[in-house]
Amino acid sequence: MSILDKMLRPKQFTPVTVDEYIALRLAKRLGDEASVSLYLNYFDHHSKEWLIANLHKAMRQSDPARAFHSSLASDHEALHPCSS
């Protein structure tokens, strides 16, 4: 492998904490590993239990990653409705 190949290769995310490990596993399970930073952000706003429960629900859908993100968006809207 040339130096240029090494520079152009995307850096692999290596989890350090339990939350980072779970976020990486969540992203891989949903086939969305490239968005692991988004899943890490979810841990700032939701409990591990809630995220895992939504993973199980999303896995029953035809597009699990989309279903997972949609469930988070609808939860956010329910908790923070826009006032008109």
Q: Where are the domains of the chain?
A: 15-59
C-alpha pair distances (Å), 59 with each of 11, 17, 49, 52? 27, 25, 15, 11
pLDDT at 81: 57
In the prediction, which pLDDT does 4 show? 61
**pLDDT one-digit tens code per residue, 11-65:** 678 889 998 999 999 999 999 888 888 899 988 888 889 898 999 999 999 999 9
**pLDDT tens for residues 9-23?**
556 788 899 989 999
- pLDDT band for position 1 (cuts 50, 70, 90): low
